[in-house]
Amino acid sequence: DAKTTQPPSMDCAEGRAANLPCNHSTISGNEYVYWYRQIHSQGPQYIIHGLKNNETNEMASLIITEDRKSSTLILPHATLRDTAVYYCIVSSAGGTSYGKLTFGQGTILTVHP
Amino acid sequence: DTAVSQTPKYLVTQMGNDKSIKCEQNLGHDTMYWYKQDSKKFLKIMFSYNNKELIINETVPNRFSPKSPDKAHLNLHINSLELGDSAVYFCASSLPGGSGYYGYTFGSGTRLTVV
């Protein structure tokens, strides 16, 4: 699976948009970009995933560049409860890895009042 | 209504003991996983089962033995526990290949402390 690079930490003011970048320059054609987050002491939580097109759900938006070498997770109106470690993961949905997710260090997002 | 449930939530045991962690999911998923999160917070996959069949077996000591009696359950048995086994163990499930709208669903974790 392709490796990802994320900033170790970011801050955001409550109510503002949080934009979390991720570089995945070695992504291959059949690999998806997944975002998960882990709130302190809890299990990771799925946020969103995409292949080529931008995606939006009730939690967030995912913007993937045209060359697919980077992406940005957007939390449109961050709240204090969004403080967590955010993981950007690249993984193929099938094949021999059978959906294996390889977690990196992630980005610690701290939302301030 | 818990989707992926693990028991126990906390486990404190002495070196050399044998212990089991249980995991059950009620999502109808075919694939289940065990992940380990160490003190440095890295999450690493240990095992993956699809419909009771072992699919992924990472470099894990053979003291760790997963067992899947049916596709809704994936238990983890650990023999001869060592200090380095202390970690948080997460169970997860997904549709085959990790696909599907909701990706993986993780349990809340089992914090294992070996003393």
Q: pLDDT tens across A51-110, in order?
A: 998 999 999 999 999 999 999 999 999 999 999 999 999 887 654 455 678 888 999 999
Chain A with chain B: Cβ pairs closer than 8 A: 67
Nearest CA in chain B to A105: B42
pLDDT in tens, chain B (115 residues): 669 999 999 999 999 999 999 999 999 888 899 999 998 888 999 998 888 888 888 878 999 999 999 989 999 999 999 999 999 999 999 876 555 555 789 999 999 999 9
∠ CA(A20), CA(A72), CA(B93), 5° rounding? 85
Taking the C-alpha atoms of residue B80 and residue A100, their distance in angstroms, rounded to an integer, is 28
Distances in Å between the Cα of A1 and the Cα atoms of A25, A41, A66, B43, B92 are 12, 26, 20, 15, 19
Closest to A1 measured CA to CA, from A67, A68, A96, A85: A96
d(CA B20, CA A112): 40
Taking contacts as CB-CB distances below 8 angstroms, the residues of chain A near B48 are 98-100
Let me know how many helices (H) and strands (E) chain A has, helices first.
0, 9
Contact B99 A97 (CB under 8 A): no
- Return d(Cα B115, Cα B112) in angstroms, integer: 10
